[in-house]
Amino acid sequence: MLAGIGVSWYTALENGEARGISFQTVLAVAEALRLSESERDYLLALTGHWEASERLEPLSPLVVETLNAIALPAYIASAAWEIVACNEAFRRVWAIEDGELPVGAVERLFLDPRARRMHGERFASNVEPVVAMLRSSEIRRPSEALSRLHERLMADDLIREIWQSSYEISGPFRANRCTVDSSLGAFTYEALTLPIAGTLTALVVQVPDDESRERLRHP
């Protein structure tokens, strides 16, 4: 009633049987359900109304220089969750070696044995926000790369359990808090994701708390 549509039509929508649903109707349903912005965008994608640029351009010198000038750990990620470049601070925290890039962000930060040890008992709480963002990405911009990533994640027992037990959906730019045991000691940060205009890439900056920032200042 709040969305201005009939019960039978709404039932067909829930069952994935509705055809020709308009953009305005989807927004009305989202408002009636009091969805968050991320959940609304997810619903738009499910109903075929999510529009995003498909332009893919190489990193500009300005972007690379900006990345390297940032004192905090930072990297450039593609729409397929691939780390295509990172700065020295990120290499120090995550022990990224020369020649290792490009590499899948999720594989390197959550599946790689070295990083897995860094998460320790915090693994579940650290990976849950990422699962929520990945679930949204699969609908917003489905691709073979994301499908393969999903398969690799589901091959991991713990991640599969987290994925199947949580239905949270989050936009790709959600700031999430994480703590890892790095070579610098305990490193706590919030990941800030900034889309790079005109590209399918984003700058991800790991902003540490005061104690972690102090550790980062010393070699």
Q: Is the pLDDT of residue 215 over 50?
A: yes
Q: What's the pLDDT score for residue 51? A: 56
Q: Does position 21 have pLDDT exceeding 90, yes or no?
A: no
Q: Which residue has the tokens 């691709």?
A: 143
- DSSP one-letter string for the chain: -TTS--HHHHHHHHTT---S--HHHHHHHHHHTT--HHHHHHHHHHTT---------PPPHHHHHHHHH-SS-EEEEETTSEEEEE-HHHHHHHTPPTT--SEEHHIIIIISHHHHHHHGGGHHHHHHHHHHHHHHHHHHS--HHHHHHHHHHHTSHHHHHHHHH------TT--EEEEEEETTEEEEEEEEEEE-TTSSEEEEEEEE-HHHHHHHH--
Q: Which residue has the higher pLDDT, 194 or 138?
A: 194
pLDDT of residue 57: 59
Percent pLDDT > 70 in the chain is: 96
CA angle 60, 198, 52 (to 5 degrees): 145
Q: What is the pTM of this model?
A: 0.74
User: Is the pLDDT at 187 greater than 90, yes or no?
Assistant: yes
- Given a cut of 90, whether residue 87 has pLDDT beyond it is yes
pLDDT at 119: 95
Q: Where in the chain is the domain with CATH 3.30.450.180?
A: 61-217
* Model confidence band, residue 199 (pLDDT cutoffs 50, 70, 90): confident
Predicted confidence (pLDDT) per residue in 24-78, tens digit: 888 889 899 999 877 887 888 788 776 544 444 578 999 999 999 999 999 999 8
- Report CA Rg, the chain: 19
Closest-CA residue to 143 (of 76, 78, 77): 78
pLDDT for 216 beyond 90: yes
Q: Which option is the CATH number for 61-217: 3.40.50.800, 3.30.450.180, 3.40.50.410, 1.10.3470.10? A: 3.30.450.180
pLDDT of residue 53: 40
Between the alpha carbon of residue 107 and those of residues 7, 17, 36, 197, the distances in Å are 44, 36, 29, 26
